[in-house]
Amino acid sequence: MFNLIFWGIVVFVMYRVFTSYKRFQRIYYTQAQFKNMQVSKEAIATSELGLFVALCAKVAKADGHIDELEAELIGNMFNDISKVFPQPDVVKGFLKEIFSEEKERPKNIDSVVSQLYVLISRDKAKRQMMMSFLINIAFIDGKVTHAEENILTKVAAFLHFSSDEFEAMMNQFHSSYTNVTTHSSLNEAYEILGAGKEDDLKTIKKKYRALVRKYHPDIIQAQGADEDYINDAMHKTQKINEAYEVIKKELS
Full pLDDT tens readout for the chain, 252 residues? 545 554 454 444 333 433 333 333 467 888 999 999 999 999 999 999 999 999 999 999 998 888 888 999 999 999 999 999 999 999 999 999 999 999 999 899 999 999 999 999 999 989 998 998 899 899 887 789 999 999 999 999 999 999 999 999 999 888 777 665 556 788 999 999 999 999 999 999 999 999 999 988 887 776 555 567 777 787 888 889 999 999 998 887
Question: Which amino acid is present at 178?
Answer: T
Note whether 223 and 24 are within 8 A (CB).
yes
105 secondary structure, DSSP code: -
Stretch(es) of the chain classified as CATH 1.10.3680: 27-178
User: What CATH number matches the domain at 27-178, 3.40.50, 3.40.190, 1.10.3680, 2.60.40?
Assistant: 1.10.3680
Residue 67 host element (H or E): none
* Cβ atoms within 10 Å of 176's Cβ, excluding its own: 18
Q: Checking phi first, is residue 224 left (phi over 0); if not, alpha (psi -120 to 50) or beta?
A: left
Q: Give the containing element (helix H, strand E) for 64.
A: none
Closest CA to 173 of 197, 153, 150, 143: 143
Closest residue by Cα to residue 127 from 118, 62, 176, 228: 118
Cα–Cα dist 212/188, whole Å = 17
Between helix 163-180 and helix 146-158 the angle, nearest 10°, is 140
- 117 backbone φψ class: left, alpha, beta (φ>0; ψ -120 to 50): alpha
The pTM (predicted TM-score) of the whole model is: 0.83
CATH architecture of the domain formed by 186-251: Orthogonal Bundle (1.10)
Q: Where in the sequence of the chain do the CATH 1.10.287.110 domains occur?
A: 186-251
